[in-house]
Amino acid sequence: MNYSQTTAWMFSRLPMYQKQGASAYKKDLSRTQLLSSYLNQPEQNFKSVHIGGTNGKGSTAHMMAAVLQQAGYKVGLYTSPHLKDFRERIRIDGHKIPEAFVIEFIQKHKTFLESQQLSFFEMTVGLAFEFFFQKRVEIAIIEVGLGGRLDSTNIISPELSVITNIGLDHTQFLGDTLQKIANEKAGIIKANTPVVIGESQTEVNAIFTQKASALKSDIYFADQEISQVLDCSLLGNYQQKNIKTALKALGILETRGFSFSQQQLKKGLLSVQKHTGLRGRWELLSEYPNIICDTAHNKEGLKLVIAQLQQQAFKRLHIVLGVLAEKSLDSFTDIFPKKAKYYFCQPNIPRAMDVKLLTQTFNKKGYKGQGYDSVEKAFTTAKEQALKEDLIFVGGSTFVVAEVL
């Protein structure tokens, strides 16, 4: 099999949460542990940081990786989902895993993967850990895929754990209250291992402190301990919280044998996209008119992005919007501005919300706009109708953003 055939097999042969939703979510770590044993537990041979949370975990992971790379370390980075190419999920020093490594891994282990009915996410975690081990990374930044306690990444023994914040997302899997979701996220806290909480939240602070205390793990709340932030190449005021989280986590890594100068810290934060290849976080795609995209996709994340949007200078605002079917529209329609023209669309995945339903729901609430049967048509129409002084925003889902990049 060539690379496209290999990834096609991975995507179509096995269930995948990214495209299918609930059918790909496995409430069990046993198969991941089985794969790890089969591969001789590669994750035990490199140091790691485990990052979970509802919003900001991807940005925080990339910030930390950028600083460590700037300091000269060989850094593995595992994140999800990808935007354009599967290989974006697995990087070393910003370079995507080679196509040849993906092909060889699948060909070599395909019989085992099929016989054990491993999910897309489970095999991808195994692939990443094997790659990081074989290439001898000095540290790997590992982003949780979904939740924490039962996430496939949760077989590592990290140098520290990081939980950015708690919001209502993926409630069909993690629970319908902040407390239930916090309990799942707290599952990445390990015994005698420090944990950084990005944002203090009265509803869930006690859950984290109690779990850390029970496991004899030191706990730190970044927003209480970091008062000054440094400049970062990731734009958007909402990144201030993530910068604080990254700074606190990096500070703890310093106590565990990693070192970097203040200059390396500053330069790393100013070079996040350059060092790690991150895209889709308040990204300016073009000017005249300004076109900005952002992958925020839940109520808390979208609130921050919309607030940032309202601070921009423009004559008219155009919003290209598509969401996933599991989203509760009633819970977040009201956070979008009424003074905008909407181009509703449906990303090309099974989990996408039907564009007719999306359009009708927003129209009934007084939002002006019409639906398009593809992201491309919606985006093209917005560009045709926008003046140079206008602003076009593309978002609502990672998958909508992926189709305009």
> How many residues belong to the chain?
405
pLDDT of residue 300: 85
pLDDT of residue 351: 87
Residue ranges per structural domain of the chain: 3-276, 283-402
What rounded mean pLDDT belongs to the chain?
93
Residue 167 pLDDT class (50, 70, 90 cuts) = confident
- 236: pLDDT strictly greater than 90: no
- 18: pLDDT strictly greater than 80: no
Instruction: Answer yes or no: are the C-beta atoms of 276 and 79 closer than 8 Å.
Output: no
pTM of this prediction?
0.93
- Provide mean pLDDT across the span 356-363: 96
d(CA 117, CA 140): 27
- 109: pLDDT strictly greater than 60: yes
Three-class secondary structure assignment of 78-133: ECCCCCCCHHHHEEECCEECCHHHHHHHHHHHHHHHHHCCCCHHHHHHHHHHHHHH
Tens of pLDDT, residues 137-156:
999 999 998 888 989 999 99
- 13: pLDDT strictly greater than 80: no
Tens of pLDDT, residues 342-354:
999 999 998 899 9
Percent residues over pLDDT 90 in the chain: 83
- 90: pLDDT strictly greater than 90: yes
> Coil, helix or strand for 75?
strand
- Domain topology for 3-276: UDP-N-acetylmuramoyl-L-alanine:D-glutamate ligase (3.40.1190)
Please check whether the domain covering 283-402 is classified as CATH 3.90.190.20.
yes
Domains 3-276 and 283-402 equal at CATH topology level: no
- 291: pLDDT strictly greater than 90: yes
* Residue 358 C-beta-side C-alpha neighbours within 13 Å: 24
- Provide mean pLDDT across the span 189-200: 97
For residue 55, what is the enclosing H or E element? Answer: none
pLDDT of residue 25: 52
State the amino acid at position 390 in one-letter form: D
pLDDT of residue 14: 57
Residue 27 pLDDT class (50, 70, 90 cuts) = low
Residue 331 pLDDT class (50, 70, 90 cuts) = confident
- 26: pLDDT strictly greater than 60: no
d(CA 101, CA 255): 34
pLDDT of residue 28: 77
pLDDT of residue 176: 64
Which residue is it, tokens 């200078």?
A: 313
